[in-house]
Structure formats: structure tokens, C-alpha cells
Amino acid sequence: MVTTNLTRRGVIQTGAAAGAGLALPTILTAGSHAGFTNAPTGSTVTLGFNVPQTGAYADEGADELRAYELAVEHLNGGGDGGMLSTFSSKSLNGTGILGKKVEYVTGDTQTKPDAARASARSMIEKDGAIMITGGSSSGVAVAVQSLCQEAGIIFMAGLTHSNDTTGKDKKANGFRHFFNSYMSGAALAPILASNYGTDRKAYHLTADYNWGYTTEEAVRTSTEAMGWETVAAVKTPLAQTDFSSYIAPVLGSGADVLVLNHYGGNMVNSLTSAVQFGLRAAEANGKNFEIVVPLYSRLMAKGAGKNVAGIFGSTNWHWSLENVAGSKYAGSNAFVQSFGTKYGFPPSQAAHTVYCQTLLYADAVQRAGSFNPCAVAEALEGFEFDGLGNGPTVYRAADHQCIKDVLVVKGKENPENDFDLLEIVDVTPAEAVTYDPAIFGGDLGSCNPGA
Amino acid sequence: MDQIILQILNGLDKGSAYALIALGLTLIFGTLGVVNFAHGALFMIGAFCAVTLSRILSLSHVVLDETKKDFLGKPLKVEVPYANDWFGPELGGAIIDWAVPLSILFAIPVMILIGVIMERGLIKHFYKRPHADQILVTFGLAIVLQEIIKYYFGANQIPTPAPEAFVGSFDFGALIGLDSGKVIYPYWRILYFCFAMLLIGLVFAFLQFTTFGMVVRAGMADRETVGMLGINIDRRFTIMFGIAAAVAGLAGVMYTPINPPNYHMGMDFLVISFVVVVVGGMGSLPGAVLAGLLLGILESFASVREVIEFLPGINQVVIYLAAIVILLTRPRGLMGRKGVMED
């Protein structure tokens, strides 16, 4: 016969003791992590690069990844140091971040918000990434930014141009170096007025999603303010490939300017159709018919080939900036030299913005003396810097949007090679593209350290 | 009036691409009974035949131009095509300029070969399997082909322009007595429509007026009886698969100046082409052509601003709405035959 001395009180006491024992390491670890998600404990720190590796923006994602690898190399003291030598903040010294060697993991956003969130979540939960960065679409940026806010991770956005990322969907843990639709409109309008006059009638074709809406609104507001009239604005499905039925009626609509609020494949196809239908050579209202592409990228221009010749647009950065506009944009040449030597071709604007974001994050950690997201956010808010290729820039505290000069570019008439597709027409100063952060609504909320 | 004519032209041009792909799909379904979801990939591979030949013809050697600098400040590397060295700048330039039309000759054998390999190597093993299995395996094949193309050519679109002679637009309005400049249409798109009609005509003539075509048609009607007469119908059907692949490929070759190709272009057309096949009537070749053109025109009219303003979003669903209406009123499609895919 087996007898036991089990009592209800004994079980509760033993259970409580065992529970406390099991919880102790967690409590101690949390303490040593100073209470934030994925606090690095060893000699390394892991960054999560979430870029489109498959799908329509895979080439842009590949260029982002090259820039990230270069940034990691420079942070760890390798290569020629790139923009570390021109960056106005001198806290980074090539020994990693806070003395920890920088390592990275990559995820594939597929340019789909769900897939991007899943890959970001995996990098945070399985790989212990302390910061997530990347992306080539605003839908992805907004989705991943929201996830990072919930997880207590800093999100350094990649290529995202919608006003919403740092407007109505802004988050305390999210930061954007790239410019936005509003800034494109504000930069383009004066150039369009001086080149095409103030008496113009515009026809907008707009991609039927978030970025398209904000870009159309920004360009309409800016151009109407200087006297242009908007004849029509037609939404086009994001999945549209043949734009002929949207382009064909433009010439008979009374418009004399076509604004293509399209990006990526949409822009390549709609611009190709517009040129095929003779819009570049046409006359309307006694004027030459003109086409405008508010957001340009060199990779996109390459896809459209000769069709971009003479067409105005805006861009966040271009590899020739320092040569064309002078030493105010110091850092551009250093980055081009570093990237070009390693990979054999100049970097895209997507590569530039993600390289800057990586350095800005590392620098903020270094200045804050902590990986705690709230300390990092505080170090980034209101941070004024220079030497990263865009001239003097400020990370605005109110919406976490970088305020800096914006480039107006034009497709080159006679490019000499695949990289020489855009020419810089003007650089609009930051003051002219600055806006009240309250106009887009939204609420940053408070920083979430996670854990 | 001018807008109506413009949208009809648009619809015919768009519909001719649908018709060509749907024709190939129907040929394969009618002969082999296979629902080929890799057919869009064949259209895409055809387009990349044009890209490949264009690159071959543009193969270059590098000459350093000391007077100009590249992005790193080094002497600019200027690429000079071998074609210019061998044939002179004028003829060499013309050969490169005509890369897309020349690709037709390049694409025919390549596409037939790919079609035959695809049929003999994979699809023949699925003849007796359910349609669901065929769809799965051909869809998987399409993804594999896409990824191979993406690996070699990248994800970005690749500009493959039409020859200079076809750049620009034709004043169609002036031809039919309307005001000049009101109805202008790109030369290449008009050429695309004519090319598509010619190709469709050739396929029909081949099936109608040759002994080979007669045997194929007999095999489509009663495969077993034709086999019992000692005719190797399987071999003929394999050749028909190759021909269907070539038709899709040629549609892709000629499409490259309309939209710069990328690895995904086949998928963009595939779903609509299946709708075209179903609306036209499974297994009906004239039905596929008719439905392609009709749905193309319908899609064009649904994209007109006034229509979108009246019915927002109609441009995105009109083809599917039309398919529902047609299938409710004519369950076998416009020209479908009794007994096809009804078991």
C-alpha cells in the first residue's frame, strides 16, 4: 500500500515555489534587457532587412539589399567607410553598434502587406532582430510599421512615398528618410509652371490605391494653386497592364498635360502607351502636349526606355547630385564611389535611402547609448544632420518624417548608358516642401519598447 | 463618335491578344483534352525570345572614350555593337532596330521545340488524370518558367521597341472622314491586330485545308477511331501542342513593343484568356476568337471615364460580369459544342 502526504496547501506551496523558480531566469533576463524587445546580449546585434526579393519590385529590393550589405560592412569597419566619413555625426567609428558586431537577416516582403508582416514577425521572433527596415511600397511600409509598433521594434522605412506613412498612419516607432507625395507636388509645381506656363489643363491617371490617391491629391493641390485646371482624374486598376483604353481619350478631353500618378510597372506601361498614342508629339489648346510623372526612379526609367525623354518628375536622390549641384550634397559621391566600386554600377534612390536609414539608426543607438527603442526614437526625433547626400536634413519630431531638399528631374534625351537616364533639373530647397505635420492627421502615439 | 471608334480599335487590338492566347489554349484542349495553365508562360517566353534576339543582335564590345567620364570618374565605356562593325553603322543599326520583327523567325522553332518538350516531357503523363491534376501541374510549370526567366532577365520590364518605321500614330479619323487628329492610333497596334488576324487565319487554313489538319480535326472528333485506322494521332497532337505554343509565342513576340515585357506578363493574360475560352465555348476555335475580340471591346468601353463615373469599378469586373451573363444564357458559351467538358 502506498501512502502519500499530499495536501492541498502543500501542492499550492510547491507549485508557487516551482513557478517562481521557473520564472526567475525570465525575470532576470528581462531585467538585464532593460525591458525591451530583443535586447542584444552577446557580442553581436541583428538587424532585419525586409525587402521585396520576389515579385514586381524584386530588382529594387535587390538594390536595397546591396546597400544594406554595404552599410553593415561600413558599420563593422570594412570597405572604404562610404558615407561614414561625410556624415556630420561622428559617433560611429567602424566598431559596429555600441561595440557589437552588426549582423543581419533578410526577409521577402513580396510587395504584399501580409507577406511583409509575416517576414518581419519571423525576423523579430525567430532571429531576434532589434530593428526592421526596408520595403518598396507604402502599403508594405504602413503594415510593417504597425507591426513594429506593436512588437516594440524600431522601423526604419525604405522606399515609401505615400503621405500616410508619416501622416495618418504614423507611429512612434516608425521613421521615414524618403520624401513623400506632398513634397513631390510642392517641388514639381514651380518647375512645371516655369516650363509649361500657368494656363494648363491637366488629365490625371491615378493608380487605384493609397499611394496613387495621395500623389494625385498632392499634385492637383500644388498645380491648381498656381493656376492649372484639372480636367479629369481617372482611377486605373493596379493590376492593369494595357493602358490604351485610358490613354486614347486623353487627347480629345481638352487637356494639354497628362499626369501619370503611377509607379513601377504601371508607370512603364502607361507612359509607353501615352508615347505610342503620339501624346509627346501632339498639340492641344495651341500648346505642346506634355506628360508628367510625379515619382521617378532610375530602375523604372530603365524599363520605360526612350519614352522617358523630356518628361519631368521628382526623385529623392540621384547618383549625380553632388557633381551637378555641388558640395552641399556631400556624401553622394562617397556613396556612389563605395557602391559603384563594389557592384559595378551606381546606386538607385532606393539603395541610397536604405543605406542612410541603417546609418541613422546605428548612429542614434550610439548617441543614445542604448538599443532601447524609446531611447533610439528620442535620439532620432529632431535630429539634424548633414553629409548623407541630401544636404542638411532634419528628422522632424512631430511625424518622424525627414525634411530635406527634393530633386526635380527630367528624362534625358540622349542617354549615354543605362544609368544615365535622368538629368537633374532643379533642387527644391527643404523650406519650399515643408508642411504642417498636422494636415495629414494621425497620431504618433507613444513609443513602445516591447518586452 | 470619335471616342466610340477609338474604343472599338482599342478593343480589337486588346482582344486580338486575348484571341491568340485563347486560340492556343483551345487547340490544346480540343486535341489533348488538357487544361493548360502554362499557356500564359508560353506567351511570356515568346516575348523573351524577342528580348533574347534583340540582345544577341546588340552584342557589343567596349571602347573607352577618354573625353567622357563614367559615374566613378573613369573614362566612359562605350558599347559598340558587333553588328555595326560587321555591316556598318547604317545596316548594323537597322538590323538591331528590326529585332522584334526578326524575332518572329527566331521564335517559331524555339517555341515549337519548347511546346514539344513540354508535352512529351511532362504533360503527356497527365492525359488520363483529372483536370484538377492537369491544372495543378501546368500552373506549377508556369511558376517554374516564370522564375527561370526572372533569374536570367530580372524582375524589371525590359524595353523592346518597335522599329523606327512603326513608331508614331496613324490618323484613322482622317481616313474615314472625321476631323484630322481626332482618331489617331499607333501603327504598331494596328500591325498587331493585322498580324493576329493573319495568324488566326493561317491556323484555321492549316486545320481546314491540309491533310494533317483534316486528321487532327478527325482526331478531335473521335480519337479512338482515327487511331484504329493506323494513324499515329498522338504524334500529330504533339505537333499541334508545338503549334499552339508557337502561336502563343508569336503573340508574345509582337506584344513586346506594346508593353515592355517582364517575367509576369503571362499571368496577367492567363486568367482573362481562360474566361475568353469559356465564354467562346470550350473546344471551339472560332468561339475563342470571337469571344476574345468581343471581351476586348467590352473591356475598352468599360474603361471610358464617363462609364467609370457612372458605374465605379466596372472597368475591373466587366469581363467577369459578361462571362456570368453569357454562361447563364448560353451555358456552353457562345459557340460551345454539346458534350465537351460535360462529363
The arithmetic mean of pLDDT across residues A219-232, rounded, is 95
* Cell numbers for A154: 524600431
Neighbours of B315 (CB within 10 A): 25
The arithmetic mean of pLDDT across residues A128-155, rounded, is 95
pLDDT value of position B340:
57
> A72 versus B34: which is more confidently predicted?
A72
Measured between beta carbons, the chain B residues lying within 8 angstroms of A253 are 305
**Residue A10 scores a pLDDT above 60:** no
Helix H or strand E segment including A330: none
> A310 versus B223: which is more confidently predicted?
A310
**Residue B180 scores a pLDDT above 90:** no
Distances (CA, A) of B343 to B22, B41, B132, B217: 22, 28, 14, 21
**Residue A30 scores a pLDDT above 50:** no
pLDDT value of position A114:
95
Residues ≥6 apart with Cβ < 8 Å to A59: A299, B154, B155, B156
Identify the burial level of A98 via C-beta atoms within 10 angstroms of its C-beta, where 0-12 means exposed, 13-18 middle and 19 or more buried.
middle
Q: Nearest CB to B304: which of A55, A249, A299?
A: A249
pLDDT value of position A2:
42
Q: How far apart are CA A341 and CA A70, in angstroms?
A: 11
Q: How far apart are CA A117 and CA A142, in angstroms?
A: 10
Q: Band of the pLDDT at A7, cuts 50, 70, 90?
A: low
| A303 close to B (CB below 8 A) | yes
| pLDDT one-digit tens code per residue, B122-167 | 988 888 888 889 889 999 999 999 999 999 998 888 989 999 999 8
CA-wise closest residue to B198 among B14, B20, B61: B20
Number of residues in chain B: 343
Greatest Cα-to-Cα distance within chain B, rounded to the nearest angstrom: 76
**Residue A6 scores a pLDDT above 50:** no
Does the fold of domain A182-315 match that of domain A44-179+321-403?
yes
DSSP A256: S
**Is A272–B189 a contact, with Cβ atoms under 8 angstroms apart?**
no
Contact B312, B318 (CB under 8 A): no
Domains located in chain B, CATH noted: 2-53+104-326 (1.10.3470)
**Is A340–B72 a contact, with Cβ atoms under 8 angstroms apart?**
yes
β-strand pairing of A101-108 with A44-51: parallel
Nearest residue on chain B to A306, judged by CA atoms? B159
Residue whose cell numbers read 548612429: A363
| A286 close to B (CB below 8 A) | no
**Is A419–B71 a contact, with Cβ atoms under 8 angstroms apart?**
yes
| pLDDT one-digit tens code per residue, B317-341 | 899 999 999 999 998 888 887 665 5
| pLDDT one-digit tens code per residue, B83-132 | 999 999 999 999 999 999 999 999 999 999 999 999 999 988 888 888 88
β-strand pairing of B184-186 with B169-171: antiparallel
Residues ≥6 apart with Cβ < 8 Å to A378: A368, A447
Average pLDDT, chain A: 90
Q: Nearest CB to A340: which of B71, B154, B259?
A: B71
Measured between beta carbons, the chain B residues lying within 8 angstroms of A305 are 159, 161, 260
The arithmetic mean of pLDDT across residues B172-195, rounded, is 86
Nearest residue on chain A to B146, judged by CA atoms? A55
Contact B27, B203 (CB under 8 A): yes
| A237 close to B (CB below 8 A) | yes
Strand-pair partners of A408: A314, A426
End-to-end CA distance of chain A: 50
| A320 close to B (CB below 8 A) | yes
Cα torsion angle, A110, A116, A120, A122, sign: negative
**Residue A49 scores a pLDDT above 90:** yes
**Residue A344 scores a pLDDT above 50:** yes
Helices (H), A93-151: 113-125, 138-151
pLDDT value of position B343:
52
DSSP B336: P
Q: Where are the domains of chain A?
A: 44-179+321-403, 182-315
Nearest residue on chain B to A110, judged by CA atoms? B155
Nearest residue on chain A to B264, judged by CA atoms? A56
| pLDDT one-digit tens code per residue, B258-287 | 999 999 999 888 888 889 988 998 878 889
Q: Nearest CB to B157: which of A252, A265, A277?
A: A265
Q: Nearest CB to B71: which of A232, A245, A346?
A: A346
Cα torsion angle, A207, A210, A216, A219, sign: negative
Q: How far apart are CA A259 and CA A276, in angstroms?
A: 16
pLDDT value of position A375:
96
**Is B154–A251 a contact, with Cβ atoms under 8 angstroms apart?**
no
* Cell numbers for B211: 491533310
DSSP B81: E
* Cell numbers for A268: 512603364
pLDDT value of position A34:
56
Greatest Cα-to-Cα distance within chain A, rounded to the nearest angstrom: 109
In angstroms, the separation between the Cα of residue B265 and the nearest Cα of chain A is 8
**Residue A33 scores a pLDDT above 70:** no
**Is A320–B13 a contact, with Cβ atoms under 8 angstroms apart?**
no
DSSP B337: P
**Is A245–B299 a contact, with Cβ atoms under 8 angstroms apart?**
yes
Measured between beta carbons, the chain B residues lying within 8 angstroms of A265 are 157, 262
Q: What percent of chain B has pLDDT over 90?
A: 51
**Residue A23 scores a pLDDT above 50:** no
In angstroms, the separation between the Cα of residue A350 and the nearest Cα of chain B is 14
* Cell numbers for A221: 493641390
pLDDT value of position B263:
92
The arithmetic mean of pLDDT across residues A355-383, rounded, is 97
* Cell numbers for A187: 517641388
Q: Nearest CB to B155: which of A56, A242, A345?
A: A56
Q: Band of the pLDDT at A32, cuts 50, 70, 90?
A: very low
**Is B156–A299 a contact, with Cβ atoms under 8 angstroms apart?**
yes
Mutate to test the interface with A, among B5, B14, B157, B169 (most CBs of A within 10 A): B157
**Is A272–B169 a contact, with Cβ atoms under 8 angstroms apart?**
no
The arithmetic mean of pLDDT across residues A98-110, rounded, is 96
| pLDDT one-digit tens code per residue, B196-208 | 999 999 999 998 9
Which fold, A182-315? Rossmann fold (3.40.50)
The answer for A 187-216 residues in CB contact with B (under 8 A) is none
DSSP B68: E
Mutate to test the interface with A, among B10, B179, B303 (most CBs of A within 10 A): B303
* Cell numbers for A317: 536622390
* Cell numbers for B237: 497532337
Measured between beta carbons, the chain B residues lying within 8 angstroms of A269 are 157, 259-260
**Is A268–B157 a contact, with Cβ atoms under 8 angstroms apart?**
yes
Contact B258, B40 (CB under 8 A): no
Q: Which range, A299-303, B53-57, B164-168, is most confident? A: B53-57
Q: How far apart are CA B120 and CA B74, in angstroms?
A: 53
pLDDT value of position A13:
56
Q: Nearest CB to B303: which of A246, A252, A282?
A: A246
| A166 close to B (CB below 8 A) | no
In angstroms, the separation between the Cα of residue A239 and the nearest Cα of chain B is 8
Amino acid at A258: L
The answer for A 248-267 residues in CB contact with B (under 8 A) is 248-249, 251-253, 265
In angstroms, the separation between the Cα of residue B105 and the nearest Cα of chain A is 25
Nearest residue on chain B to A54, judged by CA atoms? B155
Measured between beta carbons, the chain A residues lying within 8 angstroms of B40 are none
pLDDT value of position A1:
41
Measured between beta carbons, the chain A residues lying within 8 angstroms of B182 are 252
Contact A301, A308 (CB under 8 A): yes
Nearest residue on chain A to B184, judged by CA atoms? A277
**Residue A22 scores a pLDDT above 80:** no
| pLDDT one-digit tens code per residue, B61-86 | 999 988 888 888 888 888 899 999 99
Q: Band of the pLDDT at A115, cuts 50, 70, 90?
A: very high
Contact A64, A351 (CB under 8 A): yes
Nearest residue on chain A to B158, judged by CA atoms? A303
Residues A44-179+321-403, CATH architecture = 3-Layer(aba) Sandwich (3.40)
pLDDT value of position B342:
56
**Is B184–A337 a contact, with Cβ atoms under 8 angstroms apart?**
no
Question: Dihedrals φ, ψ of A290, to 5°?
Answer: -125, 155
In angstroms, the separation between the Cα of residue A184 and the nearest Cα of chain B is 24
Mutate to test the interface with A, among B1, B12, B69, B72 (most CBs of A within 10 A): B72
| pLDDT one-digit tens code per residue, B203-228 | 999 989 999 999 988 888 888 888 88
Residue whose cell numbers read 536595397: A64
**Is A268–B71 a contact, with Cβ atoms under 8 angstroms apart?**
no
Q: How far apart are CA A232 and CA B204, in angstroms?
A: 44
Contact A89, A364 (CB under 8 A): no
Contact A344, A312 (CB under 8 A): no
Measured between beta carbons, the chain A residues lying within 8 angstroms of B14 are 242, 244-245
**Is B262–A56 a contact, with Cβ atoms under 8 angstroms apart?**
yes
| A340 close to B (CB below 8 A) | yes
Q: What is the ipTM of this complex?
A: 0.84
| A287 close to B (CB below 8 A) | no
